[in-house]
Structure 1
Amino acid sequence: MSGTVTLENKWPVLGRHAQATEWLRLWTDLGRAPRTIDAYARGLSEYLQMCERESVDPLTATRAHIGIYVRELTERPSLRGPNVVSIDSGAGLANATTAQRLVSVRLFYDYLMEEGLRDSNPVAGADIRPVGATVGISVGLCPG
């Protein structure tokens, strides 16, 4: 599929995970818009990079690993630089962006379950809810 080649060129980590490539191919074959596929690929590739850094096989990842990924997203320095004047000082991705990245990971784990490669989805308990005075993402601790 030509879209996958482009995505693998953009995010080489996808080429190192056959299930990721298969999952993105499925979404493309189902007629999802190219920008949707691109967004899914970005979120999944960032997650797979975290898995590689942490020496975690995505097929055996736990909620704790999802928590690491979410923490990385919410603490990432802003690309806008230190001159941004805002309450949260430009740290981390916007909540909507973080949620969108997490959706791609949740859908990927749904696919792995459908394919019989996992018994549970470690993202299934994640939700967006208020944390203190700001909105944040929390990963539930219920079994999954």
Structure 2
Amino acid sequence: MPFEFTVHPIRWDRCPLVASDPHAQAWLLLQSHRGLSSNTLDAYSRASERYLAFLKSACIASVSATRADVGLYLAALQAGEVALANATIQQLLTVVRLFHGYLMEEGTRSNNPAAQTGSGRAMVARQQKLPWIPNEEDWHRILAAARQESIRNRTMLAFAYDAGLRREELCSLQSSDIDPSRRILRIRTESTKGRRERALPYSASSGELLGRYLVHRRTLGSKRGPLFLSESHRNYTEPISIWSWSKIVLHLARRAGVERFSTHTLRHLCLTDLAHSGWDIHEIATFAGHRSVQTTLLYIHLSGRDLSLKLAAGMAQLHARRVQMLAEVAQ
């Protein structure tokens, strides 16, 4: 199967400071020509714009920014009215590091002020929290709220869990990616975070929902292409965007009274269930499209599988020891 390489356009109107800075503009163009997804490219442009806005307010040129300047930028991020998650700050810092790394490669500056130190310590310590998954009560409330959704939304929810799909992978599905006869869906390289194509099975119940949705989809248009279509007046029959899908899930979560439920929750839940069912860590990593099993380990930990096995083994030994002690007392 040929590799599908797409160069996505940059929305320069959303990052005017980047567009006006020759170095930042050249760096962002390079990222576009690397074939990054439109969402990644958009995230890079927004992060670059944010960094350049800080440098402009402090009258600092990107070619002369020091490690102390980057530190002030990080402090400004954390001092904002809206508290940023550690993962968000890590993403913003990554863009700064990549940008300055590019300036070094071009010979514009001699060092990277955002790089790790010689000891390997990062500027911001990475906090790794276990992802949240709903308990049984939350899950039933989510299901009750989902019953009120359209057939398209219910099908998307089913696929998001069944195949453990990321938001972009779900919204980027094409009609040609589905093989109903074998109940297999194809996740294309350009829509994945790890740039790894994979083929995933889906259940019979998801297949039934898909069949009902396809009947409905034919009323919107007969042409093949994006699987999940928008039905809003503004974007009628256009592919549903990740932002629209996020809003749908947000409204569902509010109706269910489970505010922490998000587009990524079903992926977390799926992978945790696979770990709990005894899947090997490498099998889960392949299914999820993880580049590193270190990411997959989160779901092994979250399932409590290893701890449960150790607890069961420990309790069995303790029980046997107590029985032996009682037997000795009875003699």
**Runs of 4 or more consecutive aligned structure 1 residues displaced over 4 Å after TM superposition:** none
Match of 2:48 in 1: 44
Cα distance in 2 between the residues matched to 1:127 and 1:57: 20
Q: Percent identity?
A: 36
Question: Which of 74, 77, 102 matches 1:73?
Answer: 77
Classify the secondary structure of the residue corresponding to 1:3.
Answer: coil
Cα distance in 1 between the residues matched to 2:92 and 2:125: 16
Could you give the per-residue CA deviations for residues 10-62 of structure 1, whole angstroms, max 9, x where no partner exists?
12111221111111111111111111111111111111000000000110000
TM-score by length of 2: 0.34
Classify the secondary structure of the residue corresponding to 1:104.
Answer: helix
Deviation at 1:2, TM superposition (A): 7.4
RMSD between aligned residues: 1.7
Cα distance in 2 between the residues matched to 1:56 and 1:23: 18
Whether 1:128 and 2:124 are equivalent positions in the alignment is yes
Number of equivalent positions: 116
The 5-angstrom pairing of residues 1-144 of structure 1 reads: 3-4=9-10, 6=11, 8-78=12-82, 92-125=83-116, 126-129=122-125, 135=127
Question: Could you list the runs of 5+ residues in structure 1 that have no partner in the other structure?
Answer: 79-91, 136-144
Contact 1:42 1:101 in 2 (8 A): no
Question: Could you list the runs of 5+ residues in structure 2 that have no partner in the other structure?
Answer: 1-6, 117-121, 128-331
Cα distance in 2 between the residues matched to 1:115 and 1:29: 17
More strand by percentage: 1
Structure 1 or 2, whichever has the larger Rg, is: 2
TM-score by length of 1: 0.75
Contact 2:8 2:38 in 1 (8 A): no
Cα distance in 1 between the residues matched to 2:68 and 2:123: 15
- For residue 124 of structure 2, what is the amino acid of its counterpart? I
Contact 1:75 1:93 in 2 (8 A): no
- For residue 20 of structure 1, what is the amino acid of its counterpart? A
Compare relative contact order (CA 8 Å, sep 6+) and give the higher one, 1 or 2.
1
